[in-house]
Every structure is written in C-alpha cells, then in structure tokens.
Chain A
Amino acid sequence: MTASPPPASPLRAKRVLPGFGLTMGVTLTYVGVIVLLPVVALVLKGAEIGPARFFAILSAPRTLAALQLTLLAAFMATVFNAAYGLLMAWVLVRYDFPGKRILDALMDIPFALPTAVAGLALSALFAGNGWYGALLEPMGFKVVFTIWGVAVAMSFTSIPFVVRAVQPVLEDLDPQYEQAAITLGAHPFTVFRRVIFPAILPAYMVGITLSFARSLGEFGAVVFIAGNLPMKTEIASLLAVIRLEEYDYNGAAAIAMTLLVIALLLLAVSNLAQARALRYKGKTA
C-alpha cells in the first residue's frame, strides 16, 4: 500500500457567520477580567493566609455561627422556593385566567427591585407594628431579627429563579406525552409524577441550585430584616464586610473563600445531577 490518502482540501471551510474571532476574543477577555480574575485573586489571597490560620478564622465561634445561619436560612428559603416556584410556574403555564400576564410580570419584581428596597419593605411588614408582624407576633412567632426573617428575605429575592427555570420547559412539554399516559390508564397525579415531573426535573434542579446560590450570597435585603446580632442573626457576607472594615483582610478573604467553595460545589453537584437526569438524551441513534 503506497497510495497515501489525498491531502486535505487547502480551502478552509468558510464560516457562515463572520466575526467569530472578534466576538470570541471580546467575550473571553470580558470573562477573564470581570469573572475569572477576581475569583483567582480571592483564591490567591486566601492561599496567603496559610492553612492553620485559615482554619483558625473559620472555626472561630462567630464565623461558624454566621456560616451556619447563612446555610440554614438559605436552605429554608430554597425549600420554600422549590415548592412555591413549581406551583407558580404550573399555574402560569397550565391555566388561563384574567390577569395572567400581570402575574407573570410580577414574578420579575424581585429581580428588578433594588434589594435594599425589598429589605426595607419586608422589615416594615414583619416588624411588630407592621401588617404581618402585628398578626404573627401575638401568636408568638417573631420574624424580624430571627433566622425566619433572614429566610424570608432570601426567599423573596431568589424566587424567580425557580419559576423562570421551570416555566419554559413546562410550556414546551408536548401534550402528547400526557395524552399517551392518560390513554394508558394513568390518573392525573400519576401523569404528573411519572411523565411531567421527570421532564421538568433538570430545569427544576437548575432553578433550585441558582435559588440556593443566590440566597447564600444575598446581602442587601437580609441586613435590613435580620438585626445582625453577632452569633445570632449575622450572615456570612455581612461578617466578611465587618472584618474588612476592621482591616482584617485575611478574615474577610477566608469567609469569602468558604462561600465561594460552597457555591462552586453546589454548581458541580447540580450539573452532575442534571447530566444524570438527561442521560436518555445523550446517545442518539
């Protein structure tokens, strides 16, 4: 066998859309400067501290309390958002009613509203003399200056993530799947559990993850309602700010690093879970 394969065509295939080099370059530069560099700087700053000092900062009671509060409140907020967001998306997609478009638009308010405004409004409502607070406090349920307040604020600012992630997938779901399930004898709840829910699950998980990540980092809305009592209602981001104001750069960096790692871990787990949920789409014959 001496015949070599013919040389590849010297003509490079032309791209249909021009400007790939330019747009890609700008995009990468932007990502580098705005997203990656700060993260890298943070990691480097954290690395300077050294492991022993790092753990000393983290295991300080005040830091631990702040991290614990942040995680727990974010978890509570996410559980609520997961349930309510799914319901909201369902109502917005599946039913027609007057004012549906207004309700749909309302869902974006938490995104559009400055978080400080949200925090102010929430603390006014839940304060002992506010509309909600006046009802709840006589029943012995205090929201402001407690973990509940923190969770309420987190939930408010991150609810649209779940709704907006699930809504388009639910809209695109082919009604034939449900009809098929019905003709096979499945009753409404079974149809939801076995046919609809698995279809929206990947998007739902994205929404939940984003909602949790946003709750972890929520600052503006929380500080108004939490009371910010050290060891009790002080969230991790606020503690990082306090450390910075005390010129304790290492302390601030260590807390920030911890939040970063939790967020990244979450993202990774969510992506893995999604890949698993979508494995049926992978190998296409």
Chain B
Amino acid sequence: MTMSIAHLTRRFGATEVLRGIDLAVDKGELVALLGPSGSGKTTLLKIIAGLDWPDAGALTVDGEDWLAKRAQDRRIGFVFQHYALFPHMKVRDNIAFGLTVLPKAERPAPKQIAARVGELLHFLQIAPLGDRYPAELSGGQRQRVALGRALAVDPRILLLDEPFGALDAQVRRDLRRWLRGVHDAAGTTTIFVTHDQEEAFELADRVVVMGAGRIEQIGRPDEIYDHPATPFVARFLGLTVELPVTLRAGRAEAPGLDPSALPRRAMADGPATLFLRPTEITPVPDTTGPWRVAEAVSTGALLRLGLEGPADCRIEVEVPRRAGRGLTEGQTVRLRPEAGQIFPRQSNSDGASAPAAKPLSSVKESSL
C-alpha cells in the first residue's frame, strides 16, 4: 500500500491544528511523526485512521480516496496511547474482536479465528495471557495485546499513537526493539506518533518532524540529526545554544569563536545564527578569550558550564568532567564547536539581535 496526503488542513474553532500537510508513505515503511505536543501529529494520525476529518485536502491509499471511506471500511490497525483494551473481554476476545465483527460473509469460522488468535498470542510472546482480563496485565503486556488486536485484521496500515508513552523506561526500550521486529516480520506499513526523538530515531526508517501544524522536515534519522532543516527542528533536536554570528565566505565568525571544525556553507554573507548542542562545544582556556566561566557544576560524568560572553550572551555547555579540569569559575575561554547548524537570521523573528541561548519555552514559530 502507498499512502499520499496532500494539502491537508484541520482547524478546531479558531486554532489551526494542521496547516497544509503533504506526505507520502511507501509500502512497508516505518514512519515516525515526531513533534512537541500541540504540533498536530496525533490529529494527523486520527485523520488517517478516520477518527477525525480534515477541513480540506486529500488522503489517498493505493489510489482510493480514503476521505470518502468510514473508519470501519479502511481496514487499519490503530493502537491507542492508553491501549483502550475492552475491559470486559479476555485478552483472547480482545484480539479476536476485529475478526468477529466482520460481516457474516467475510467472517472466518470460529475455529479459524481461534487459530489466528493463538498464532498472534504466540507471535507477540504473550501466549500464557490469553485468558486474562486487561486489568490483570502490566503496561507492557497491555501494549502487546493492543498491538495483537490491531494486527488481527491484517491491517493495510498500522497506526500507533504514542505507543510507549505510558511505559517505564526499561520496558520502553525493550518494546521498541520488539516493535521493530514485529513490523519487519508482519510486513505492514506503520506510522507512529511520538514526542521522544530517541524513540523516533531508533525505530523509524523515516522521521517526519512536525511543529505547529506543519511538516518541518522529512528524512532519515541520521540525516535529520546531522542536518536539521529549520531553526525549529534544530531547537527540537537539542541544538539549544544559539550564537549570533556573521557569515563571511561560508564561515561563521564571532568574537572568541573558533569555527575551524565547522564545514563551510554555501550561504550568502550576512548575519546568521549558529545552533549548537551543549555537548558539542569545547571551551578552550585562553587568557584573551571573550567568554568567561561564570558557573561550573558537576553532574558526575559531565561538567555543566555557564559561560558569559560578549553582548550579555550567556550559554550553557557540557564537557566530560575529566576533560574540563582547567575550567574553573572565572577562567576565560574561546569556543570551539565540533558541529553545528547555521541559519540566516530573520529580520523579524527571534534570534535577530536577542542574546543567544534562549530557553526553549520562548521559542516562537518562525515564518519559515
């Protein structure tokens, strides 16, 4: 199955939740919709499922117009964030549900349904749990049952809403690998929603980064990690240090900045903002450096440094504690970034002349 979404918009009252989504998903792909809460990713998932309807746009699957189809007729598998297992049905009956509600002509015989359920229980490694009620299961087990229920109807597309959101960290990591295995073995096309970038990057073939109702970037995990396409993606992926720089011949220049490790960019000269991860900046002690260590806090493995620089800039960097022995409070330094992303400074948007390293909460949607 191939799915294509074009110019999809959705508004709730005055709020635009989706502002023109274009996306194509190929057969067998595992795609993550990644974004902060309120970015519209769950709404997009619900529209694909048929649980919500767009105000405009198109959604086609293998050439069929899905917006003309009810959710019942789309043959999808949807896994809810809190699983929504039917509490009054045993695990076995929960998984069989999708098969038992098929129209009489298509419904398999009870024996076949039981066989299919047994197969799924085995496949999902929950064979002993068939006769329990959902209330008697742990979170991870419920997650597996929910997936089994969705897979039982042999869905054309599997949709998961924050599939690991309600689980604790260890179970989450285990299930992540397991889900990848299930996806590969079942051969379905899968789209899942998450706000956790680690989850998206580890699991997905392609990641769709969403912000405020728009798709900010689509790409393979490494691609996005190394080359965030917009300031929004950069901030969301942890490039939280923002330095005002001047671009000259593709190289970022700023007082006390050693850009030798950064590749040259084919960008026009002018004011720009350099986005950096706190862990990818090395402060080099330099008696004439314009940056000064104002604060040094150890977290055990890391030394978290608060640096004060020219024009009231204040940034936070993290270095391995052992590498940072010489960095005591009051020390002046130069900055040597290992990697970073440069975006031209917007005249009317944030980062124009404001001090760098703003807290994430003040991030506004730029007009990119």
Contacts and interface: CB of A to CB of B under 8 A. Distances in A.
Contacts of B88: 198-199, 277, 280
Contacts of B74: 183
Interface string A165-206: 000000000101101111111110010001100110000000
Contacts of B51: 179, 182-183
A12 interface: no
A102 interface: no
Contacts of B134: 280
Interface in B125-141: 132-138
B101 A186 contact: yes
Nearest to A280: B133
B153 interface: yes
Contacts of A283: 133, 135-136
A283 B76 CA distance: 32
B271 interface: no
Nearest to B136: A285
Interface stretch (B14-22, B77-85, B195-203, B344-352): B77-85
A284 interface: yes
B80 A180 contact: yes
Contacts of A190: 101
B49 interface: yes
Contacts of B87: 199, 280-281
A183 B133 CA distance: 21
B72 A187 contact: yes
Contacts of B77: 183
Contacts, number: 79
Contact of A185 (B86, B135, B138, B153): B153
Contacts of B86: 177, 180-181, 194-195, 198
B186 interface: no
Interface in A124-172: none
A186 B80 contact: no
B149 A184 contact: yes
B343 interface: no
B50 interface: yes
B115 interface: no
B138 A181 contact: no
A179 B73 CA distance: 13
A180 B78 contact: yes
Nearest to B72: A185
Interface string B26-53: 0000000000000000000000011100
Residue in A174, A177, A285 whose Cβ sees the most chain B Cβ within 10 Å: A285
Contact of A280 (B71, B82, B98, B135): B135
A211 B84 CA distance: 32
A185 B137 contact: no
Interface string A273-285: 0000100110111
A183 B152 CA distance: 12
A224 B367 CA distance: 76
Interface string B69-109: 00111111110101011111100000001100110000000
Contacts of B137: 285
Nearest to A180: B84
Given A280-B133, A281-B135, A285-B135, A184 B84 contact: no
Contacts of B71: 182-183
Given A176-B80, A187-B72, A281-B87, A181 B97 contact: yes
A221 to B, nearest CB: 37
A205 B173 CA distance: 44
A285 B136 CA distance: 4
A177 to B, nearest CB: 5
Nearest to B98: A184
A190 B50 CA distance: 18
Given A198-B88, A280-B133, A280-B135, A183 B101 contact: no
A202 to B, nearest CB: 10
Contact of B78 (A177, A183, A281): A183
A15 B149 CA distance: 45
A185 B49 contact: no
A285 B101 contact: no
A285 B50 contact: no
Given A176-B80, A280-B133, A280-B134, 16 more contacts: A176-B82, A179-B51, A180-B149, A181-B97, A183-B50, A185-B102, A186-B72, A187-B72, A194-B86, A194-B97, A199-B87, A280-B88, A281-B133, A283-B136, A285-B137, A285-B138
11 contacts: A176-B84, A180-B84, A181-B101, A183-B49, A183-B150, A184-B98, A198-B86, A198-B88, A280-B134, A285-B132, A285-B138
Interface of B: 49-51, 71-78, 80, 82, 84-89, 97-98, 101-102, 132-138, 149-150, 153
- Smallest CB-CB A-B distances: 3 pairs: A184-B98, A176-B84, A183-B78
